Structure 1
Amino acid sequence: MFKGSMVALVTPMNEDESVDYQSLEYLIEWHIASGTDAIVAVGTTGESATLDMKEHCEVIAFVVNKVAKRIPVIAGTGANSTSEAIELTACAKKVGADACLLVTPYYNKPTQEGLYLHHKKIAEAVDIPQILYNVPGRTACDMQPETIGRLAKVSNIVGVKEATGDLSRVAKIRALVRDDFDLYTGDDATAIEFILLGGQGGISVTANIAPSQVSQAYNAALAGNADLARELDAPLMEAHQKLFVEANPIPVKWALVEMGKIKSAIRLPLTPLSTDYHDVVRGALKQAGVL
């Protein structure tokens, strides 16, 4: 349904920790001009865990309004409460999002049957395209390919963001899902190989700092030009790694501050990037050619 480079957009904030809508609008325009194929609003990178329900919906509505149908907007609406996820997903539909991204329930560690029933109930409650999001490194919950295959039978569950970094899952999942079910990577370091194996694109943290470069690399991979894709991705490899030296989005928000794109603000319990890592991340930005 979607393809290419989809940025997991940060949520800029003012010094008082309110949402900085002026900077958010700037980032939206920069991404559209840079060739980003879709914007994911209020996902993990967008600090969804620290935005309250009202702010969450307001940010999605703002992004939808400013994008104005120029590219798709995918709203992060997952939660570890099924009822809360339904409420957020309904809000995203109401304000005009093109699809929703729903992370597996975190902390409460449901069974595979619990995951199936959770996502099935949300899909049946809100008629909007929905993308599953599997990131066990953050959720302590791993949605197995067989569960994804079961959920792919639900008509408005249209894809999965697979962020394990395990490339063997591409073939496993593809064998279990319908032909029009899309596979997206959530792991920047292995994204090119994921796409070359048959993925439709990626939801990227690195795209926050290098939207044009990520878009070009992904498009080359989608076209089957493996050599060009790897060549374009090579200068970004350090960023793929160093943007995770502390919990996302700590490093990428610091990087955008260093690039002059946003103000220096992040909500507790996250804190600004430790000074020990400033030169490390700065070096990655220079390697990527964005600083």
Structure 2
Amino acid sequence: MRIKHPLTGAIVALITPMLEDGSVDFDALAGLIEFHIESGTKAIVSMGTTGESATLNQPEHIKVMQKTVEFAKGRIPVIAGTGANSTSEAIELTQAAKDIGADACLLVTPYYNRPTQEGLYQHYKAIAAAVDIDQILYNVPSRTAVDLSVETAVRLSAIDNIIGMKDATGDLSVAQELINECPDDFLLYSGDDATAVEFILMGGHGGISVTCNVVPVEVSSAYQLAFEGDKKSAQGIDANLYNLHQHLFIESSPIPVKWVMYKMGKCESGIRLPLTKLSQEARVVLEQDLVNLGVTI
């Protein structure tokens, strides 16, 4: 059975705010959640790539997910990032997400160990069998060194509690294949801000967005207009965001977006090694983007 209330539209890949010493700032996290509820964001991804999941240990990871659910208070769906390159660890995190009341889980393809397509299928099948919670596949080969094929995604779409997929390839030909081949009730999300509006115009169900951290109202509006088939208006808003889409990746994400959120007064500037603070040269570029968009800094 697919999810009863489809998670569509603008979904923020939420940063994990940190103090200067790298500890998680839960007060700022609560503030960010309120910001997104007020801005009309449709759902929150907690502990995804943008949330620095790679540098938090498992107890911290679970606590951030738990606090996100707690602060949300059922007012906005929470999708917990629970992927790992160990199937057993992914099952543990996914079970934890279910136990704390997350609405769904986002599971990145196993990174570094480069499984075969059959390995990917068995990995996701095992997690789905072990934990009865809605699960979303996450394909981002630029980071993981493994690419979940359309064929494998279609195989996995037959499993009831695998409800969708985030495609972060940025390749619209792949998006079109997924839209053509997957069941109509299988949710397909863009994981690439620069092409997300086009993805939705092609028939996608939304985007899991880094840019949404910064300008959630604008991202939500562009996606909604795309859903309504107002191509010109959706593309017009998206064109205004083009530089920001690009420059939020001027250095490894989430370095730029965390700095931008700091400049906006939403959090402190803490970030964990091996990630470092944004360079001075990149700060100048992003400051100009924010000024051009009328964002208060």
Sort the TM-score into its range (normalised by shorter chain).
Answer: over 0.9
Q: Which residue of 1 aligns with 2:9?
A: 4
Alignment of 1:18-57 (within 5 A): 18-57=23-62
How far did 1:16 drift? 1.7
Q: CA deviation at 1:275?
A: 1.2
- Number of the residue aligned with 1:263: 268
Q: Does 1:204 align with 2:209?
A: yes
> For 1:149, what is the secondary structure of its paired residue?
helix
CA distance in 2, matches of 1:118, 1:286: 45
* Aligned residue in 1 for 2:178: 173
State TM-score, norm by structure 2: 0.96
Q: What displacement does 1:188 show?
A: 0.1
Answer yes or no: is the 8 Å Cα contact 2:179–2:204 preserved in 1.
no
Cα deviation, 1:42-86, whole Å, max 9, x if unaligned, reads 100000001111111111111111111111100000011111100
SS in 2 for 1:74: strand
3-state SS of paired residue (1:7): strand
| Counterpart in the other structure of 1:217 | 222
Distance 1:20 1:79 in 2: 24
Aligned to 1:152: 157
Contact 1:238 1:287 in 2 (8 A): no
The amino acid of 1:250's aligned partner reads I
CA distance in 1, matches of 2:264, 2:36: 15
Matched residue SS, 2:11: strand
State the 1:175 CA deviation: 2.8
Q: Which amino acid aligns with 1:32?
A: I
Instruction: Find the residue that maps to 1:39 and give its secondary structure.
Output: strand
* Per-residue deviation, residues 237-272 of structure 1 (Å, max 9, x unmatched): 101000001110000001111111110100001000
Is the contact made by 2:115 and 2:146 (CA closer than 8 Å) also made in structure 1? yes
Which whole-Å deviations, capped at 9, do the CAs of 1:79-122 have from their partners, x for residues lacking one? Answer: 11111100000000000000000000111111111111111100
How far is 1:27 from its partner? Answer: 0.4
Aligned-residue offset at 1:223: 1.1
SS in 2 for 1:158: strand
Structure 2: how far apart are the matches of 1:285 and 1:235?
A: 11
Counterpart pick for 2:283 among 265, 278, 283:
278
SS of equivalent to 1:101: strand
The match for 2:3 is none
Name the SS for the 1:105 alignment partner: coil
**Which runs of 5 or more structure 1 residues have no equivalent in the other structure?**
none
Contact 1:185 1:194 in 2 (8 A): yes
Larger mean Cα displacement after TM superposition, 197-206 or 64-73: 64-73
| TM-score of the superposed pair, with normalisation by structure 1 | 0.98
CA distance in 2, matches of 1:116, 1:65: 33
Q: 1:63 is matched with which residue?
A: 68
What SS does the aligned partner of 1:46 have?
coil
* Structure 2 letter corresponding to 1:198: G
On the 8 A contact 1:210/1:288 being kept in 2, the answer is no
Separation in structure 1 between the aligned mates of residue 118 and residue 293 of structure 2, nearest angstrom: 42
1:224 CA drift (Å): 1.1
Q: Percent identity?
A: 60
Find the partner of 1:142 among 129, 144, 147.
147
* Aligned pairs, number: 291
Amino acid at match of 2:84: A
Q: Aligned ranges for residues 185-264 of structure 1 at < 5 Å?
A: 185-264=190-269
Output the CA distance in 1 between the equivalents of 2:113 and 2:215: 35
Query: RMSD of the TM alignment (CA)?
Result: 0.8
Q: Deviations over 1:127-170 (max 9, x none)?
A: 00000000001111111100000000111000000000111122
Following the alignment from structure 1 to structure 2, what is the Cα–Cα distance between the partners of residues 282 and 142? 34
* Partners of 1:242 and 1:286 in 2: CA distance: 14
